[in-house]
Amino acid sequence: MRAPLRWVLWDVKDTLLKVRASVGEQYCKEAERMGLSLSPVEVEAAFRQAHRRYSSRYPNYGITQGLNGKTWWTGVVRDTLSQCRVQDPALLDTAANNLYYNFCNAENWEVFPDSQKALESCSSLGLKLGVVSNFDSRLEAILRSCGLLSHFSFLVTSEEAGVAKPSPVIFDQALQKCGVPADSVAHIGDHYVKDYLTSRSVGIHGFLIDRHNEHNQPDIPQEHRLSSLEELPSRLQQHLD
């Protein structure tokens, strides 16, 4: 006999909220405040390159190499702007620090229209909610500023956990906080491998949010795929009985 559902774990970025404007636009806006005129397209391309380089060289914010979320991100910003011919070390440091803290604010994030109601509906079913996210220590401040933090009993970020999805270890840490078996827990996220496959590999009921019908993997049953978070409560209801 299967265990009744007790908890729902949530991914955050691109599941509950997304970056409001492109990174190129946001970096350019900060550069403009400092008297610099940069091209958003060029900055976006430089950012993607810097982000890829740092992610490869220092995975999960370089935690095991003596870095942390802040030093990692400010390094990415400095690298990005350096590629765009900004050379003044003081300017690079100021821009990097400002941008790091700018992304704690709700004005830089857009909560999806279906997020708040889905969280409320899950709570009204008697389910407890937690977060499992490949994110740095700013996540709590971001969720607070976006009005979502109060829904969650706990947050597990990859910076805090010292390990990132798709490692199942981050889900094991979340399960310890839930204090129930994996088959009493569901997880919802937007990434096929990091969210869907990894959560299911530890026995959690994984669901994939696919807002733009981009995932065509044949091994995802239709009942595990959501085009909107509005569909989630009725899917979870089936595991409550």
Q: Give the count of beta carbons closer than 10 Å to the beta carbon of residue 230.
A: 13
- The answer to the question of residue 167 being in a domain is yes
**What confidence category does residue 70 fall into, taking pLDDT thresholds of 50, 70 and 90?**
very high
C-beta of residue 52 within 8 angstroms of C-beta of residue 79: no
Residues 140 and 92 in one domain: no
pLDDT, averaged across the chain: 95
Burial class (CB in 10 A: 0-12, 13-18, 19+), 13: middle
Backbone angles phi, psi at 136, to 5 degrees: -95, -175
Among residues 85, 108, 131, the one where a domain terminates is 108
Q: How high is the pLDDT of residue 1?
A: 47
Q: How high is the pLDDT of residue 54?
A: 98
Residue 19 has pLDDT above 50, yes or no: yes
Residues 102 and 128 in one domain: no
Residue 3 has pLDDT above 80, yes or no: no
186-213 confidence digits (pLDDT tens): 999 999 999 999 999 999 999 999 999 8
Residues 140 and 63 in one domain: no
193 closest CA partner among 45, 18, 11: 11
- What's the rounded Cα separation, in Å, for the pair 64 and 169? 15
Domains identified in the chain, total number: 2
Q: How high is the pLDDT of residue 241?
A: 64
Residues of the domain holding 170: 7-16+112-238
- What's the rounded Cα separation, in Å, for the pair 16 and 12? 5
Sole residue written with tokens 């700013």: 138
Decide: pTM greater than 0.85. yes
Q: How high is the pLDDT of residue 135?
A: 98
Residue 2 has pLDDT above 70, yes or no: no
Residue 107 has pLDDT above 70, yes or no: yes
Q: Quick one: average pLDDT of 25-36?
A: 94
Q: How high is the pLDDT of residue 187?
A: 98
C-beta of residue 82 within 8 angstroms of C-beta of residue 63: no
Residues 135 and 147 in one domain: yes
Domain at 137, CATH number = 3.40.50.1000
- The answer to the question of residue 53 being in a domain is yes
E strands, the chain, where? 7-10, 17-19, 109-111, 128-133, 154-157, 185-189, 205-209, 225-226
- The answer to the question of residue 181 being in a domain is yes
**What confidence category does residue 6 fall into, taking pLDDT thresholds of 50, 70 and 90?**
very high
